[in-house]
Amino acid sequence: MGSSDGYIRHVHVSSDANDMNTFIPFLEGYHMSYGKYPEKTPADAGYGSYDNYSYCKEHGIELYMKYSGYRKEQEKLSDKNRFKSYRMKPNEDGEILCPAGHVFTLEWEKTNTKGRYPRTIKFYRNEHCEGCPFRAQCTRSRNGRTLMYTKKLDMYQKEVRENLETAEGKELMKQRSIQSEGIFCQIKQDYEYDRLWRRGETGVKLEILLVSMGHNLRRYHNRKQKSKIKIQA
């Protein structure tokens, strides 16, 4: 479900258990309904992926979807996380350094075409692990620590971090949490709707749309009633 101002704006029904795979079909359905794409789509880490970011850039949607590992990146540097892959990014000279200061060597790169958008993946290996005092903490590989890096994905994730750190980004994510979780709470707990009664994609979609319409009508009625009370007061 996509929500705005407490109303359910669009619904997409899918049997896919992976949130990442539902993002693009949801937005295509949104575009079909409204004739345009949303300017921003704040969402949790379940939707942050290379294909979804590329789709947003293609259609002029600003990047506000968290990605897997976003929260961990916000943690302070410590002995527990200093050896994580997300701590090892290219510096200004394009070199990737391990915590011991050794440079990773680029072994090969390939273009992955399995997804919706092709991406170039680079494979690095550190050739200085032998005798390194941090080896036991860094890697168990006999052939040295390895890394896979996609420059474009790194650029997307950097844009996401910058957007989420702004005042607007923080407010959007706050509202995302309040509205999306709030709507599900109202439907499942307040309205006691906690199971689907129809079967099949068509039946389920019809049922969810009817429930969504009921939610929107209730919200509209409640807001109208509150505005009348304020006027009378």
Residue pLDDT, tens place only, 66-75: 998 888 888 8
User: 31: pLDDT confidence band, cut at 50, 70 and 90?
Assistant: very high
User: 233: pLDDT confidence band, cut at 50, 70 and 90?
Assistant: low
In whole angstroms, give the CA distance from residue 123 to residue 108: 5
Average pLDDT over residues 172-176: 91
Percentage of residues of the chain with pLDDT beyond 70: 99
The predicted model scores a pTM of 0.88
Average pLDDT over residues 195-216: 93
Q: What is the identity of the amino acid at 101?
A: G
Tokens at 150, concatenated:
């996609």
In whole angstroms, give the CA distance from residue 203 to residue 191: 20
pLDDT at residue 168, rounded to an integer: 94
